[in-house]
Structure 1
């Protein structure tokens, strides 16, 4: 069953220590739009089914990525999309959103998602992988 919108945003707001739900929502929308461009197939559909509908639609209709972004460039792209964002705040935003996504997805799906992504995303999801 998908996570409720309020619950998802509450977790993002808590992890990101945002003052408002609006800030948490903005971070979630940007990060999920960028993430959706990097995921394909069954994993993307499975993840979407676990997210609140608003965010599932963003994940399924992503910004198109010309190429897979490295974890570092993913953070830079996030900073570019969030007004007034710096590299440090974008890193924080990405971590807050993707750690909640990883919790919603569970270990097994998160592992399969990480297999689709360039190295370094495990840290963004808050799930460092043993080398």
Structure 2
């Protein structure tokens, strides 16, 4: 059952402490477009229907990625797409959106998604991996 748009937006807005729904929506669109470029095959196709339809469309129609971005570069790329963002605010945006995505995905799918991504994404999704060295 997909998460509905209003609760998804409200959760991102609360976690990101955004002052308006528009700010939260902008973060959602940018982060999901970048995430969609890094997920392929079954995991992306399985994640999409668990998200609101608007989010699923963004996830499934990403800009093509030329190479997988490290977690740090993913945050910087997010910041580059959001006017006035800094590395710190971009990290906040990414965490707010991806933690809600992780909640919608569930544990099993989230583990498979993280296997597709470079190290460090577990922290962006708010799902630190056991045994991961602290940086």
TM over 0.5: yes
Note the C-alpha offset of 1:130: 1.1
Matched residues in 2 for 1:63 and 1:103: separation?
24
Q: Secondary structure at the match of 1:55?
A: helix
Q: Which residue of 1 aligns with 2:98?
A: 98
Note the C-alpha offset of 1:128: 0.2
How many residues were matched structurally? 131
Q: Which residue of 2 aligns with 1:130?
A: 130
Note the C-alpha offset of 1:63: 1.5
Unaligned runs of 5+ in 2: none
Matched residues in 2 for 1:87 and 1:105: separation?
26
Note the C-alpha offset of 1:64: 1.3
Q: Secondary structure at the match of 2:92?
A: helix
> 1:70-102 deviations in whole A, cap 9, x for unaligned?
000000000000000000000000000000000
1:83 equivalent in alignment to 2:83: yes
Normalising by structure 1, report the TM-score: 0.99
Q: Which residue of 1 aligns with 2:107?
A: 107
1:36 equivalent in alignment to 2:33: no
Unaligned runs of 5+ in 1: none
Note the C-alpha offset of 1:27: 0.1
Q: Which residue of 2 aligns with 1:15?
A: 15
Matched residues in 2 for 1:120 and 1:112: separation?
14
Normalising by structure 2, report the TM-score: 0.96
- 4+ residue stretches of structure 1 with deviation over 4 A? none
